[in-house]
């Protein structure tokens, strides 16, 4: 990683020499592999190595950001000059600039990198994709097609240097197995998906498990019908629960709070969610796909309790919006904005099956369609698929219905949380139950 750091240092020094009052360079090198099987053939095969340099410069409060893949001496010289010159045409912003303090941070114990990603031969990954596809299709005779079974991975090095003296680098890796079988349902089709992601191949769900779960989801929806319009409890299966949390994350992002685009505006310190709603953003979680020793500005990541037993404790900040709103960065700078580290709802102690058994009549949702959340009010509405629950059991599959409420009410009426939390993305959640929502069907 020393070579990457040295290049970033050279670019920062050149930017300051060219007239930047502050500068920051991020150099990334990423090896990526992806293959997709359909039927008995490989439909896609991609392997690449990418190198990129992102430079942020500040000239008396004016900021410009440019990126390049030209690392020749002449190319870098032009690149730095263009970045500094661009900043001279940007309006000044009193909040723009590098973090005041970026104390050293280490990736020790974070388990960000696994050698098995690079060690696994491409041929083995191709065979794995074919095996995923074969296992999904063999699950049931009604599985007649597929949107693809995929195996992918990446191994990356990131080096960040700024003119305030920060110098840091780390390596990371990730791997993915997924399958998307399609089942015949009369003249129609049922499409499903299941995937497993982790920092290493060893931590992924086995091929057989991924294929079986994906195929089962497709087959279980055969014969689905539209439910009656009603108000009842709704259980969000873990993958769809994570989508709900993504809307909550947008509301706690200081970038949205600063412009009034959040239903949580002026709610810090108040009871918003139920006692079961403790939401955390943790950049130090060992092996988490959102973990890192520092954020995109070099600010050390940390564990931030956003909701504590339903009470909103803080928003999430990068340096710019922390200055603008009179707060401190929470280490959430990402890609020029604010992003999650590992943002999640703390798990409960009961299984999803126990949540279903404790619901006399309700709906289990494991897929949603469309996007309809009104950020200022939190109004929530989605098309959905899932199961009707009767007498604590899954009665039959249902689709072509809408679930609706608002996120404040949903957070406040979470009355059960499952134990199936799995850290396979930057925003994750266990399954949870909302006491009552509107189901619009027949």
pLDDT at 271: 98
Give pLDDT < 70 ranges for the chain: 372
> Same domain for 214 and 232?
no
Shared domain check, 183 and 61: yes
> CATH number for the domain including 25?
3.30.2290.10
Structure tokens at 426: 């930057």
Q: 């406040």: which residue's tokens?
A: 412
Distance in angstroms between the alpha carbons of the first and the last residue of the chain: 60
Of 220, 238, 272, which residue is a domain's last? 220
Q: What residues contact 181, with CB distance under 8 A and at least 6 apart?
A: 136, 137, 139, 143, 145, 146, 147, 191, 192, 211, 214, 215, 218
Q: Which domain covers residue 80, as residue numbers?
A: 2-220
* Same domain, residue pair 147 and 277: no
Let me know whether 174 and 299 are in one domain.
no
Sign of CA dihedral 210, 132, 383, 272: positive
The 3-state DSSP composition of the chain as helix, strand, coil percent (nearest 5) reads 25, 40, 35
**Each residue of 139-175: b (16+ CB within 10 Å) or e?**
bbeebeebbbbbbbbbbbbbbbbbbbebbbbbebbbb
What Rg do the C-alpha atoms of the chain give, in angstroms? 24
**Residue 145: predicted pLDDT:** 96
Which DSSP helix (H) or strand (E) runs through 438?
Answer: strand 432-440
Please tell me the predicted confidence (pLDDT) of residue 431: 98
- What's the pLDDT at 70? 96
| Separation CA 430–CA 419 (nearest Å) | 6
Same domain? 264 vs 404: yes
278 with 153, same domain: the answer is no
Could you give the CA distance from residue 299 to residue 331 in angstroms, rounded to a whole number?
5
Beta bridge partners of 32: 48, 154
Task: Looking at the structure, tell me whether residues 210 and 308 fall in a common domain.
Answer: no
Spatial distance between the Cα atoms of 209 and 429, rounded to a whole number of angstroms: 20
State whether 114 and 177 are in the same domain: yes
Q: Select from 220, 244, 278 the last residue of a domain.
A: 220
CA dihedral (89, 95, 100, 105) in degrees, to 10, reads -90
Which of 205, 220, 235 terminates a domain? The answer is 220
* Same domain (yes/no): 417, 374: yes
| Structural domain total, the chain | 2
* 96 and 176 together in one domain: yes
Domain check: are 194 and 277 in the same one? no
Q: Which pLDDT score, from 0 to 100, does residue 367 have?
A: 93
189 Cβ contact list (under 8 Å, min separation 6): 144, 145, 182, 183
- Paired with 109 in beta bridges are none
Q: For the segment 51-101, what is each residue's pLDDT rounded down to a tens digit?
A: 999 999 999 999 999 999 999 999 999 999 999 999 999 999 999 999 997
Residues 280 and 174 in one domain: no
Pairing state of beta strands 41-59 and 22-38? antiparallel
Q: Return the pLDDT at 135.
A: 98
230-236 and 361-369 strand pairing: parallel
Q: Which residues of 88-112 are buried (b: 16+ CB within 10 A; e: fewer)?
A: eeeeeeeebbbbeebeebebeebbb
Return all residues near 211 (Cβ < 8 A) that are at least 6 apart. 131, 132, 133, 135, 136, 139, 149, 179, 181
Q: How far apart are CA 48 and CA 329, in angstroms?
A: 35
Q: How far is CA 6 from the centre of its chain?
A: 31
pLDDT number for residue 267: 96
Q: Give the tens place of pLDDT for each residue, 364-416.
A: 999 998 876 888 999 999 999 999 999 999 999 999 999 999 999 999 999 99
């Amino acid at each position: 990683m020393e070579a990457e750091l040295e290049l970033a240092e050279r670019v920062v020094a050149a930017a300051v020499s060219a007239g930047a009052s502050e500068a920051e360079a991020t150099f990334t090198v990423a090896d990526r592999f992806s293959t997709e099987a359909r039927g008995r053939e490989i439909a896609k095969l991609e392997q690449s190595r990418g190198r990129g340099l992102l430079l942020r410069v500040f000239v008396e409060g004016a900021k410009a950001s440019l990126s390049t893949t030209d690392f020749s001496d002449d190319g870098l010289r032009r690149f730095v000059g263009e970045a500094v010159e661009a900043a001279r045409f940007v309006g000044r912003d009193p909040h723009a600039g590098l973090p005041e303090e970026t104390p050293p941070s280490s990736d020790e114990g974070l388990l960000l990198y696994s050698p098995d990603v690079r060690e696994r031969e491409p041929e083995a990954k191709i065979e794995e994709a074919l095996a995923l596809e074969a296992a999904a299709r063999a699950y049931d005779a009604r599985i007649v097609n597929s949107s693809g079974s995929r195996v992918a991975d990446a191994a990356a090095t990131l080096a960040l240097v700024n003119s305030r003296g920060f110098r840091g680098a780390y390596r990371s890796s990730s791997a993915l197995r997924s399958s998307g079988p399609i089942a015949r349902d009369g003249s129609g089709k049922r499409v499903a998906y299941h995937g497993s992601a982790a920092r290493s191949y060893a931590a992924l769900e086995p091929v057989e498990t991924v294929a079986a779960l994906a195929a089962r989801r497709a087959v279980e929806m055969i014969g689905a019908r539209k439910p009656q319009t009603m108000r009842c409890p709704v259980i969000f299966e873990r993958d769809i629960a994570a989508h709900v949390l993504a809307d909550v994350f947008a509301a706690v992002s200081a970038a949205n709070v600063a412009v009034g685009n959040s239903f949580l505006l002026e709610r810090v310190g108040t009871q918003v969610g139920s006692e079961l709603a403790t939401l955390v953003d943790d950049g130090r979680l060992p092996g988490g796909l959102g973990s890192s020793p520092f954020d995109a500005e070099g600010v050390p990541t940390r564990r931030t309790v956003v909701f504590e037993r339903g009470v909103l404790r803080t928003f999430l900040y990068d340096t710019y919006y922390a200055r603008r709103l009179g707060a401190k960065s929470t280490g959430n700078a990402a890609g020029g904005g604010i992003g999650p580290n590992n943002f999640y709802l703390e798990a409960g102690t009961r299984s999803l099956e126990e949540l279903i058994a404790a619901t006399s009549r309700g709906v289990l949702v494991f897929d949603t369609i469309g996007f309809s959340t009104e950020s200022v009010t939190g109004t929530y509405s989605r098309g959905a698929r899932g199961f009707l629950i009767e007498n604590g059991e899954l009665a039959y599959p249902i689709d072509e219905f809408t679930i609706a409420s608002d996120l404040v009410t949903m957070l406040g009426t979470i009355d059960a949380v499952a134990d199936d939390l799995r850290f396979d993305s930057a925003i994750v959640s266990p399954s949870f139950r909302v006491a009552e929502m509107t189901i619009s069907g027949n």
